[in-house]
Structure 1
Amino acid sequence: MAVLDIEHLVIDIPGRGDGDPLSLQVKSGQRWGVLGPNGAGKTTLLHTLAGLRAPRRGRVVLNGTPLTHLSRREVARQLAVVFQERQDSFPATVMETVLIGRHPFLSAWQRESAEDIHLAHEALSAVSLTLLEDRLVSTLSGGERQRVSIATALTQQPTIWLADEPTNHLDLHHQVAVMALLNQQADNGAAVFMCLHDLNLAARWCDHLLLLYPDGECCSGPAEAMLVPEALERLYDQKLVVAHVNGAPVFVPG
């Protein structure tokens, strides 16, 4: 079942022509990776899919309903966004921040229930932050703050994950842990759509890929069809050497 339909979408990037209209379906249980060089529009695309930016043309349909017909609360009950960077406007603890994931399900002035708090504790445990729940987010490292963002989205229990560089600031161990967590979300029926810079993470964890070229060209399909040197070398303007480890491709600059 398609949970996210992208129909003839042209994202709005100032100073650039329209490029190729993007049409694809993101289905329950799929793991999509978006690849492309800096400036190709990966973050702009993610923000457009979340309804945070208007497209030039086309539309986004969320679980059968056009995104423009849904309130922000209705969108947030289905879709979570993990931003590449986050700004903290007010001092808050890790637990208080993670509980923001439950706000779409609460009425005005309603306090979090015991179940909401339980979900937040589970999310913190999933990203190994339980011991930091009383710390102010402003005192955390970049990697810890990124894991707080993942935990907040996890507490939201979305059917669609939009993640912009979810492994940003993370060390190798936590990169693998976060990708495994997103993989588990897909196994549980969520759709995962994420921008990645690391080709090898995409090769290991994604079953579908979208390639965004700097001139607005795009192509998409199953990962095995997209992970070919000819397409990737043109994408990044970089020669690549491909090896295979345990049957999976590994890409290094040539």
Structure 2
Amino acid sequence: MTGLETRGLVIDVPGRSAGRPLDLGITPGQRWGVLGPNGAGKTTLLHTLAGLRPPRAGEIHLDGRPLARLRRRELARRLGVVFQERHDDFPATVRETALIGRHPFLAPWQQEGPEDLARAEAALARLELSHLAARELATLSGGERQRVSLATVLTQSPRFWLADEPTNHLDLHHQVAVMDLLAEQASQGRGLVMCLHDLNLAARWCSHVLLLYPDGEACWGPAEAMLAPAALERLYDQPLTCVEVDGAPVFVPRR
């Protein structure tokens, strides 16, 4: 299979004795949203798909090859990760941080070249960060730092994006801009897996949805099938009202 595939995958969530094995096929061009309440294992799943933590059972394959057998540099060229929160231990400017996305493509001790810099500058412009390129990362707001994280992966240009709350800390304008950017990446043949809390972002931008329940239950499929009010009410233990706006469902919590 060409894409990111899980075979009998059980993620290792502390305190959970079992979970439904996940047999997912994520192909280039698809936009997957992972939904579930706090503690359901969304971030754990994303880190497992990225090879950052081992599964409890099962395997992950990338373009038909076991993820565990890929070298780290090869994996970094194919998979890009946007973390929910980033911790920067060393001082760096916005431009220098974006250029980290080119490191998997450079030889040891090789300096970035004009093409690498051009990619970083284009990514910063796409995320509306060009005016902050020379600023120290530590001086930015949470939303600005999140956009730098996205610009870094955009500079990397991986075949698959794994994004944990990509709209975290962002205002409404930048939420829409980021989701448009991710949809644009999918339209160019890249695969996306995004952990989201906002049902309405998932309804408007995701082609497929994975629902994760706190007890390890899971179900997945096309977004229009998964985003049923009854299923979402059970997922979040929250009554919802669903209306249609511009051809897409909009979910509003009820008291």
Distance of 2:63 and 2:163 partners within structure 1: 18
8 Å CA contact 1:2–1:25 kept in 2: the answer is no
Distance of 1:236 and 1:174 partners within structure 2: 26
Deviation sequence 1:150-207 (CA, Å, 0-9, x none): 0000000100000000000000000000000000000000001100000000000001
Distance of 1:30 and 1:128 partners within structure 2: 25
Structure 2 counterpart of 1:206, one-letter code: C
SS for the counterpart of 2:119 is helix
Distance of 2:14 and 2:170 partners within structure 1: 31
What is the aligned partner in structure 2 of residue 169 from structure 1? 169
Distance of 2:64 and 2:240 partners within structure 1: 40
8 Å CA contact 1:203–1:248 kept in 2: the answer is yes
SS for the counterpart of 2:221 is strand
- Output the TM-score relative to the length of structure 2: 0.99
Alignment of 1:179 with 2:179, yes or no, is yes
Distance of 2:194 and 2:62 partners within structure 1: 16
What is the aligned partner in structure 2 of residue 34 from structure 1? 34
1:42-191 superposed matches below 5 A: 42-191=42-191
Distance of 1:103 and 1:14 partners within structure 2: 33
- Output the TM-score relative to the length of structure 1: 0.99
Shift of 1:2: 3.6
Alignment of 1:195 with 2:195, yes or no, is yes
Shift of 1:55: 0.3
Structure 2 counterpart of 1:155, one-letter code: T
Shift of 1:63: 1.5
Deviation sequence 1:40-76 (CA, Å, 0-9, x none): 0000000000000000100110111111001111100
RMSD of aligned Cα (Å): 0.6
8 Å CA contact 1:98–1:148 kept in 2: the answer is yes
1:194-233 superposed matches below 5 A: 194-233=194-233
Runs (4 or more) in structure 1 with deviation over 2 Å come to none
Shift of 1:149: 0.2
Deviation sequence 1:14-54 (CA, Å, 0-9, x none): 11112100111001100000000000000000000000000
Unaligned runs of 5+ in 1: none
Distance of 1:64 and 1:141 partners within structure 2: 40
